[in-house]
Amino acid sequence: MTVQSQAEPSAGLLAASCAVPIVESERILLGHGSGGQLSAELLREVIVPALGAAARTGAMEDGALIHVDGHDLVMSTDSFVVNPRFFPGGDIGSLAVHGTINDLAMMGALPVALTLALVIEEGFPIDELRAICESVGRAAVAAGVPVVTGDTKVVGRGDADGLFINTTGLGRRLPAASPSAAQARVGDVIVLSGPIGLHGTTVMSTRAGLGFESDIASDSQPLHRLVEAMVDLAGSAIHVMRDPTRGGLASALNEIAQASGVQICLEESAVPIPPTVAAACEILGLDPLHVANEGCLVAIVAPEVVDALLAVMQTLPEGSGACAIGAVIDATVARVVMSTLVGSRRIVDMLIGEQLPRIC
Amino acid sequence: MKYVAEYRDPILAKQLLAEINTAVTKPWSLMEVCGGQTHTIVRQGIDDLLPAGLRMVHGPGCPVCVTPLELIDKACAIAARPDVIFTSYGDMLRVPGSQTDLLALKARGSDVRTVYSPMDSVRVAIDNPDRQVVFFAVGFETTAPANAMAVMQAKELGLRNFSVLVSHVLVPPAMTAILDDPECGIDAFLAAGHVCAVMGWREYEPIAEQYRVPIIVTGFEPLDLLEGILMAVRQLESGRATVENQYIRAVQRMGNEHAQSAIRRVFAITDRTWRGVGSIPESGLMLAPEYADFDAATRFEVSGIVTAENPACIAGDILRGVKVPTDCTAYGTLCTPRMPLGAPMVSSEGTCAAFYNAGRGRPALALTATAGSR
């Protein structure tokens, strides 16, 4: 039975009996930027159609693969609007470098060059701007990628909230790499590079003043060296790579399940959630699977390479917590499920809009 | 995590399930009162593991779900005023009123803020002396003490720009209303552990006795719920009907008397309309006369807003435990967490949302949102 045929007969009934909400369809909600279902809707229904023939079709990836004179180049762009701008484990500057490098890396590419564009609000402290740009510089040097061009705009007081940063990255794809969101296959294993939930929980608890700040830090870090080591070992046996940023692990895996048309099953007991993240999520009423990460990746790989791949990942600091968390179980339905601790099974859905903390 | 991981142990869970299986000889219907318990049961798939005939009925204990439509409309009317900063717990923001919701108002320029505690709201009032700050005081006995403290603090500080829109509800009158319903098929209750942490369980003793129904004060972790279910089944199978406490690490018979005295000081008991259920006598809290100045409904003259609840909405039957979400024709199709038609689909504690998020009875098609997007 299709959704349409179920929906039609009850539409009139409901309009009469239930308070049908006026769903906001004319204005942007904060949830449209959450990386969940609302973000997907905005792309699908507004942005991509408006671009018309200019929009490239195909699976939505972290970056775009471009063939130029026999070279496989990758481009990705990301804007950073984090509040607070400084948080344990990083700041908006280092995040702007790591975020774009990681989007390139998830395409199997090493970074070649970065751009840096700043939108600054009138009245912004120059000392803070300097500190943030120094952080950009340190992060770029540490990652071995130059900042080659940039742009600076200043807007009137109140026209932006402090500082927004955009970085665009150009990368060169490793010859042995060919990951794509559409390549997950039945029997593949889900590999995670480390614990989840650290970045989002750190930012949210810093914002809410929960007092976890001393015990928790963002995982923000570049992942291209880890990806290089993984690709060197396993090459095309790495079918998919994603960094589960906004929307968390649940949204990243749902996107993969949709793009590949497969059912993914996670083992709840195998997903590494640090105790402080678990505690903060309990207090805030959030699901760690929906919380943003900035320094871990999820890979979907052929089963025969898993053991060797995990061993290689664990030799690098950014992959020291690497583990297998589940498998692609069949292609009957495109979704993500989880084997729960008590031995039952539930569906793991994408985040819808904003994460809304529960009352109690 | 200390005091949490211990209550999620898979081996102990299987042992408890085996004991429940052994104990059950007849079909029974148990109602877990609190939305937090529903969340755990559905999320962990506990009800799927119970023996055939042992049925979990999901109760009215989601504060977001039972807040009447009329109050959401009042909240929206207040939040739309340019002089107001409207503060609320996060999951009230997406509840549909009859015209709009608070998140949509925010997108259209209203100053709507999520807070984690009513005390944060008092702080916002101190920091914004030229604005009126309103807190949406909803919830059961669990949230009432903190909300009472916020009002007491605002009075002590002489804050003229702080007020609360109150829609507090009380658990015991809702339980008796469910038991008095001729359609009620509930054999035992798992009482809400955190409500009892505040109130104790004395007020449940006469209910257990009068209605001959076992009441087990139960926690929220998987092992808590399994143990609560086992205790209820053992009472039912042996013909007993008393109040027992499973949640001993948090609940004492007398409850938290400081919290109770804060509630008694700031609030008075009143009749309350429960969304989808209707009016239940003496089932809610309103501001006591001494604190009536802090009533946002009076201050902003929204008392005149009247929005009728339509009794045909299945949300009422779900909140009373008479129907489950999958009985609803709109469930998962017209009504999803993305576009909720009724309140139980909004909060993750709501029965419909808990069902939906766990993928209950939902066509796989409903999942085909889109391929990835960044």
Using CA atoms, how far apart are residues B130 and A198, in angstroms rounded to an integer?
A: 38
Phi and psi dihedrals of B91, rounded to 5? -80, -5
CB-based contact A327:A190 (threshold 8 Å): yes
**Overall average pLDDT of the B259-272 stretch:** 97
N- to C-terminal Cα distance for chain A? 38
CATH ID of B65-170+255-299, from 3.30.450.20, 3.40.50.740, 3.40.50.11740, 3.30.70.2740 = 3.40.50.11740
pLDDT confidence of residue A14: 30
Amino acid code (one letter) for A188: D
Quickly state the pLDDT bin for B2 (edges 50, 70, 90): low
pLDDT confidence of residue B305: 86
pLDDT confidence of residue A8: 29
Q: Does domain A62-173 have CATH number 3.30.1330.10?
A: yes
Q: Least CA distance to A245: which residue of chain B?
A: B374
pLDDT confidence of residue A19: 38
CB-based contact B94:A23 (threshold 8 Å): no
pLDDT confidence of residue B366: 34
Say whether residue B338 is in contact with chain A using an 8 A CB cutoff: yes
Say whether residue B21 is in contact with chain A using an 8 A CB cutoff: no
How do residues A138-172 score in pLDDT, each as one tens digit? 999 999 999 999 999 999 999 999 999 999 999 99
Q: Least CA distance to B118: which residue of chain A?
A: A359
CB-based contact A258:A334 (threshold 8 Å): yes
Using CA atoms, how far apart are residues B149 and A87, in angstroms rounded to an integer?
A: 31
How do residues A55-75 score in pLDDT, each as one tens digit? 887 777 889 999 999 999 999
pLDDT confidence of residue A356: 63
How do residues B77-122 score in pLDDT, each as one tens digit? 999 999 999 999 887 887 878 888 898 899 899 999 989 889 999 9
What is the overall mean pLDDT for chain B? 88
Q: Where are the domains of chain B?
A: 5-59+172-238, 65-170+255-299, 319-359
CA angle A292, A121, A168 (to 5 degrees): 50
pLDDT score of B338 more than 80: no
pLDDT confidence of residue A240: 97
How do residues B220-235 score in pLDDT, each as one tens digit? 999 999 999 999 999 9
Which residues from B are below 8 Å from A201, CB to CB? none
Strands (E), A81-222: 86-87, 90-91, 109-121, 147-155, 163-173, 189-192
pLDDT confidence of residue B151: 98
The answer to whether the B5-59+172-238 and B65-170+255-299 domains have the same CATH topology is yes
Domain with CATH 3.90.650.10 in chain A: 189-348
Closest by alpha carbon to B133, among B116, B149, B113, B147?
A: B113
pLDDT confidence of residue B278: 81
Residues 183-222 of B with CB under 8 A from A: 194, 222
N- to C-terminal Cα distance for chain B? 33
Domain with CATH 3.30.1330.10 in chain A: 62-173
The CATH superfamily assigned to A189-348 is PurM-like C-terminal domain (3.90.650.10)
Using CA atoms, how far apart are residues B101 and A31, in angstroms rounded to an integer?
A: 14
* Beta carbons within 8 Å of B74's beta carbon, 6+ residues apart: B165, B297, B302, B305
Closest by alpha carbon to A188, among A297, A299, A303?
A: A303
* pLDDT under 50: residue ranges of chain A: 1-22, 360
Cross-strand partners of B229 = none
pLDDT confidence of residue A357: 60
**Overall average pLDDT of the B164-169 stretch:** 95
Higher pLDDT, B343 or A8: B343
Record the tokens describing residue B65, joined without a space.
């779900």
Residue with tokens 């809610």: B284
Closest by alpha carbon to B189, among B74, B57, B90?
A: B57
**Overall average pLDDT of the B230-253 stretch:** 97
ipTM confidence score:
0.71
**Overall average pLDDT of the B164-168 stretch:** 95
| DSSP per-residue codes, A2-21 | -HHHHHHHHHHHHHHHS---
Higher pLDDT, A36 or B125: B125
pLDDT confidence of residue A7: 30
CB-based contact A177:A237 (threshold 8 Å): no
Record the tokens describing residue B69, joined without a space.
């439509």
Q: Which fold would CATH assign to domain B5-59+172-238?
A: Rossmann fold (3.40.50)
Which residues from A are below 8 Å from B71, CB to CB? none
Record the tokens describing residue B279, joined without a space.
């009016």
pLDDT confidence of residue A213: 62
Cross-strand partners of B244 = B216
CB-based contact A77:A171 (threshold 8 Å): no
pLDDT confidence of residue A211: 66
% helix / strand / coil in chain B, to the nearest 5? 45, 20, 35
How many whole angstroms from its chain centre is CA A230? 19
The shortest C-alpha distance from B210 to chain A (Å) reads 30
Quickly state the pLDDT bin for B371 (edges 50, 70, 90): very low
Record the tokens describing residue A88, joined without a space.
């344990």
Which residues from B are below 8 Å from A1, CB to CB? 363
Q: Least CA distance to A40: which residue of chain B?
A: B373
pLDDT confidence of residue A35: 73
